[in-house]
Amino acid sequence: MDLQIITRDGEPEYAVLPWAQYQSLLKAAGLRSQQPPPTSPEAPVEPVAELPGFDQLRVLREAKGLAIEVLARAVGISPSYLGLIESGEREPDAAIRRSLAWELGVAGWRDAS
């Protein structure tokens, strides 16, 4: 099996495998095959919902019931640095945006610049 393991802090986080092998695993598990998402430029574009800004980070964190220390640890930064991001004094880099997006479920932050 052609498998790529992506780690974070020395621990496995993601497994990436070819689409055909993924489909075989689904079939072996008795699950329905999935079609790959359309990649052609003619594919219909869904309307984009309003993306929350980083100024709403504290509200999103509190809505998830996360203490600043817990979210900071999960993202891999200090609570004081997360506080600076929440207050607008610092702009998170791409890696921190991806981690915040993952932890808070805000997909659009992964690609925000």
* Mean pLDDT of the region 58-84: 92
- More confident: 98 or 54: 98
Looking at residue 89, what DSSP letter applies? S
Phi then psi dihedrals of residue 111, to 5 deg: -105, -5
Q: Is the pLDDT of residue 41 over 90?
A: no
**In this predicted structure, what is the pLDDT of residue 108?**
65
Q: Is the pLDDT of residue 32 over 60?
A: yes
**In this predicted structure, what is the pLDDT of residue 22?**
81
Q: Which tokens hold the place of 50?
A: 């309003």
What average pLDDT does the structure give for the chain? 79
Q: Is the pLDDT of residue 98 over 90?
A: no
Q: Is the pLDDT of residue 79 over 50?
A: yes
User: Sign (positive/negative) of CA torsion 46, 52, 54, 59?
Assistant: negative
pTM for the model stands at 0.52
Q: Is the pLDDT of residue 63 over 50?
A: yes
**In this predicted structure, what is the pLDDT of residue 38?**
60
Closest by Cα among 90, 88, 85 to 103: 85
**In this predicted structure, what is the pLDDT of residue 48?**
45
